[in-house]
Amino acid sequence: MKQPNMQAMLKQAQRMQAEMARAQEELKDERVEASVGGGAVKVVMTGEMTVESVAIDPAAVDPDEVALLEDMIAAAMNEGIRQAQELAARKMQAVTGGMGLPGGLF
């Protein structure tokens, strides 16, 4: 039985690690935008899941409907997080070739 070439495997792992680091760096420059309530609340997040901005249409600000506005903000944030996670997963899958690395490592 042929033994795996450990040196070649190590080089491949180092290459993959460098590509993953590059992809993670690129995520800093990526943006996702989520909006809810027909555009009443918009959230822009980086690919690193950092909130960059929140925009609220003044028409959405009704003192009698604060709970609705709060719900829309939470929904927009959650959608932004989902989109940022999806973006990160696509970038990492491109690097790993869909190897399904353990421990949530994409």
User: Is residue 100 very low, low, confident or very high in pLDDT (cuts 50, 70, 90)?
Assistant: low
Q: Are 47 and 33 in contact (CB under 8 A)?
A: no
Say if residue 103's pLDDT is above 60.
Answer: no
Q: Phi and psi dihedrals of 57, rounded to 5?
A: -65, 125
Say if residue 101's pLDDT is above 80.
Answer: no
6-96 CATH choice from 3.40.640.10, 3.40.720.10, 3.80.30.10, 3.30.1310.10: 3.30.1310.10
Taken in order 58, 60, 65, 71, the sign of the CA dihedral is negative
Mean pLDDT of 71-94: 90
Say if residue 57's pLDDT is above 90.
Answer: yes
Grouping H, G, I as helix, E, B as strand and the rest as coil, residue 86 is: helix
Its pTM stands at 0.65
* The Cα angle at residue 42 between residues 65 and 32, in degrees rounded to 5: 150
- The region, left, alpha or beta by phi > 0 then psi within -120 to 50, assigned to residue 57 is beta
Q: Phi and psi dihedrals of 102, rounded to 5?
A: -75, 165
